Amino acid sequence: MRLLAILAVLSAAVAQTPDPAYAPLARAYDALRARDYDVAIPAFLQAIAASPARPDIRKDLAYTYLKTGENLLARDQFQEAMLLDPSDTQVALEFAFLCYETKEQAQARQIFDRIRRTPGPSAETAEKAFQTIDAPLAAGIERWSQAIAGGADNFSAHFELATLAEQRGELALAAEHYEKAWRLLRDRRSVLVDLGRVWLALDRRNEANAALLAASRGGEPRAAELARELLPPHYPYVDDFRRALVLDPTNIELSRELGYLLLRMDFPREAELEFRTLTEIAPDDLLAATQLGFLLYARGEAEAAQPLFDRVLAGKDEDLANRVRAVLRLPQVLKSRTAAQAASIDAKVMAERSIKAGYMKDALKYLQVAHEADPGDFGVMLRLGWTYNILHQDISAYRWFDLARRSSDPQIASEAGRAWRNLRISNERFRTSAWLFPVFSTRWHDLFSYGQIKTEIRTSLPIRPYVSLRFIGDTRQTIGTAAPLYLSESAFIAGIGIATVPWRGITGWAEAGNAIGYLTRHMVPDYRAGISLARSLHTESARWFADTNVDGLFVSRYGNDFLLYVQNRLGYRAGSEHLQTQLYWNANVTLDSKRQDWANFVETGPGLRFTSAWLPPSMYLTVNTLRGAYLTSDRPHFTDLRTGVWYAFTH
């Protein structure tokens, strides 16, 4: 009955719900131990995609970003973890401090204010941080208010006061002075973004959308980009344009776009009024002059349209001039730029529009045309890399990022370099890995050593060929008469094989080669194959865990035997960065198809695994005390103390 109970527990463990994040998390934590952050970060991102509701993964990724100096990325991950688990004040503190370091003082102050009002060990730290931010803000607001009251009615005074007021949460005061600053210096459309952001926070949506719409058309490109991110997803209505023009009446692009919108809505009279106003306040706006001329010409007022057409024909815009010539039935003038240049510019514009609309396949076609027209445009190469990446064609993305990182533009080179490094491991043609696991067993009073060096070739198929050299030996130099498969084969095994790409923790492999006995000096054909299954469950804190590993192994040269190993661990993680420890309980079973007495047993007992920052990367030590019973013989129960050292690396 006891045996049946143990097997029932093991079967239940194997049948646990698969953890979709297990495989990438295992790679991430192995890479962290090796301080290989270029591997750890993409693995964490894959784990997040598989289990997006787990705050512990985001927290670990955030700390990894901090180690690489990516404070902005760390801040974003801490924010996501905080939103998933608002009760974790430590994560909230980390997020707030990073907000402060990255000049997001308003958000930092808000988080510190919340934490200091929450009873707990973090309240005192949050109180000190809050006062560090709040006191200078209050003093600055008072100082600038007095300066304005004393006559300093200029852009800088109002803008500085508004900035400090927004950071301190005094939004009404911030909105008042952002608006005054804007009216004093209308060329600074970035102030409209600040004003729109504050009005949104005050729930003054119509006014906010007017400010953001004005900022998104014309002026500073960066301000326009920020404004578009805050605007509603729908296209602006006519009333939105009207309100924006009241705030920014000299915005040429805004007025022109309103004119074209009125034309599309079949309001030609209202559109004509907009274009006429534009030609008066901006005589150099040839596009408005062309459109107004067309409207007048279509209504039969050719004489009124002719001065406008003359203005366009005398201008430098050859495209507009040729459109006017087409209407007037005059000969066309060839464009001065080459067809290749025109194709490249037009294709990039269309690609950008397709990306914004979410049509990534269309964007890819346009980017390919742009690259053919201008093969030296590294910006196009970078966009090709991101587009292929979004389309999940990482092999092509890897190649384009590799080209773009050679750009002379440091911004393009830096962005492409980071993306290339993130894809490098999974896209290298050859990948070599090695591992070594010496273990001492008191049950056999012997030291056994297991190891392998393997080089695999990445292919476009879900299988990867490889060459391998295994080592299985022991210090007593046994030839394997008692338990050859479980303990020692005293041989080097060279072979070639294929392995599947891991899928939900499942990997299969098959190998053919020769075993060379280093004691007997005999060479024996060796055919082996296997399948492994790994599953893991973790608590939200990632402290408690349960792991199940199932390995099936076929070996030809020992009577075509098939062995099954099932290993289960339930445990708790503890320790710090300098000493990480796992305490767990083992529940294992070993079976074989030939029912050999030594290869059919169950065992259970406590175990300890630990690693340290002072140990070489990817190394950990294990100690297990196991009590076992045989299943197919009357052999006595056994006790085994096993101590081992695992070391692995990948190149």
Average pLDDT across the chain, whole number: 82
Could you report the per-residue pLDDT of 85-115, keeping only the tens digit for each? Answer: 888 888 888 888 888 887 787 888 888 888 8
Q: What is the DSSP string of 59-128?
A: HHHHHHHHHTT-HHHHHHHHHHHHHH-TT-HHHHHHHHHHHHHTT-HHHHHHHHHHHHTS-STTHHHHHH
Q: Residue 57: helix, strand or coil by DSSP?
A: helix
Taking only the tens place, the pLDDT of each residue in 233-256 is: 888 888 988 998 888 888 888 888
Residue 541 banded pLDDT, cuts 50, 70, 90:
low
Segments making up each domain of the chain, as ranges:
339-427, 430-650
Predicted confidence band at 9 (pLDDT cuts at 50, 70, 90)?
Answer: very low
CB 448 within 8 A of CB 487: yes
Q: List all residues 6 or more positions away from 552 whose beta carbon is below 8 Å from its beta carbon.
A: 530, 531, 532, 562, 563, 564, 565
Q: Report whether pLDDT(313) > 90.
A: no
In this structure, what token pair is assigned to residue 440?
């001492």
Question: pLDDT at residue 573 above 70?
Answer: yes
Give the pLDDT confidence score for residue 404 in this predicted structure.
Answer: 86
Q: What is the pLDDT of residues 415-424, one digit of tens each?
A: 888 888 777 7
Res. 477 pLDDT band, cuts 50 70 90: low
Lowest mean pLDDT among 148-162, 319-333, 490-504: 319-333
Nearest to 218 by CA among 285, 156, 138, 168: 285
Query: Does the pTM exceed 0.75?
Result: no
Least confident span in 98-112, 503-517, 593-607: 98-112
Per-residue pLDDT reduced to its tens digit, 371-393 = 776 766 788 888 888 888 888 78
Gap between the Cα atoms of 378 and 411, Å rounded = 11
* pLDDT higher than 60, residue 6: no
| Range with lowest mean pLDDT among 4-8, 160-164, 612-616 | 4-8
pLDDT tens profile 182-221: 888 888 888 899 999 999 989 999 999 999 988 888 767 7
- Indicate whether 17 pLDDT > 60: no
Instruction: Round to whole Å and give the CA distance between 453 and 421.
Output: 24
- pLDDT tier, 224 (very low <50, low <70, confident <90, very high otherwise): confident
Q: Predicted confidence band at 413 (pLDDT cuts at 50, 70, 90)?
A: confident
Q: What is the pLDDT of residue 569?
A: 94
Quick one: pLDDT at residue 12? 47
Least confident window among 79-93, 265-279, 326-340, 557-571? 326-340
* Parallel/antiparallel/unpaired status of strands 544-555 and 446-457: unpaired
C-alpha to C-alpha distance for 64 and 74, rounded to whole angstroms? 8
pLDDT computed for residue 453 by the predictor = 92
Taking alpha carbons only, the member of 451, 422, 418, 419 closest to residue 437 is 451
Judge whether 545 and 21 are in contact, CB under 8 Å.
no
Please report the pLDDT score of residue 602 as a whole number. Answer: 95
* Residue in 587, 534, 527 with CA at minimum distance from that of residue 553: 527
The whole-number pLDDT of residue 13 equals: 46
SS (H, E, C) 143-163: HHHHHHHCCCCCHHHHHHHHH
Give the model's pLDDT for residue 520.
67
Q: Examine the pLDDT at 340 and tell me if it is beyond 50.
A: no
Assess whether the region 339-427 and the region 430-650 belong to the same CATH fold.
Answer: no
Proportion of the chain above pLDDT 70, given as a percent: 88
- Contact yes or no for 570/586 (Cβ under 8 A): no
Confidence of residue 481 (pLDDT cuts 50, 70, 90): very low
Report yes or no: 79 and 62 within 8 Å, Cβ to Cβ. no
pLDDT over 80 at 34, yes or no: yes
pLDDT value of position 18: 64
Topology given in CATH for the domain delimited by 339-427: 1.25.40
pLDDT at res. 466: 93
Count, residues in the chain: 651
H or E stretch at 166: helix 155-167
Task: Assign a CATH topology to domain 430-650.
Answer: Lipocalin (2.40.128)
pLDDT for 339: 47
Please give the angle made by the CA atoms of 603, 604 and 610, to the nearest 5 degrees. Answer: 120
363, amino acid identity: A
Q: Residue 124's pLDDT is what?
A: 85
Q: Which residue has the tokens 């014309």?
A: 218
